[in-house]
Amino acid sequence: MNLFAQRWGNGIVSDAETGDPLPGATLMVEGTTRGIVTDVDDRVTIELKENEKVLIVSFIGYDKLHVEVGTQTSLKIALKSETTMLQDVIVTAIGI
């Protein structure tokens, strides 16, 4: 097994409910500090080493997703909206 073999992958990241593109979504290679951000057309191309099998995909307001890449060279990733309920809201008049 050659640990230095490389492959290219590309993909699209979108909203799971609406299918709308998510330009600016981040894809990180698990276990590394390497990553990339989707472009304005919601597309991304990333270089992966043979032993790199998982991408961590994130976008503000959406749940983080771990994607098993395997031998795929093209991915269509759909992120779900993050649902966080607020317990309390405190309004202050400081600075008025």
Give me the residue spans of the domains in the chain: 6-79
Q: What is the mean pLDDT of residues 14-41?
A: 93
Residue 5 confidence class, pLDDT cut points 50, 70, 90: low
Q: Please state the pTM of the whole predicted model.
A: 0.77
- Check residue 94 and give its pLDDT: 79
Q: Does domain 6-79 have CATH number 2.60.40.1120?
A: yes
Q: Which long-range contacts (CB under 8 A, 24 or more apart) does 70-75 make?
A: 72/9, 73/7, 73/8, 73/9, 73/10, 74/9, 74/10, 74/11, 75/9, 75/10, 75/11, 75/12
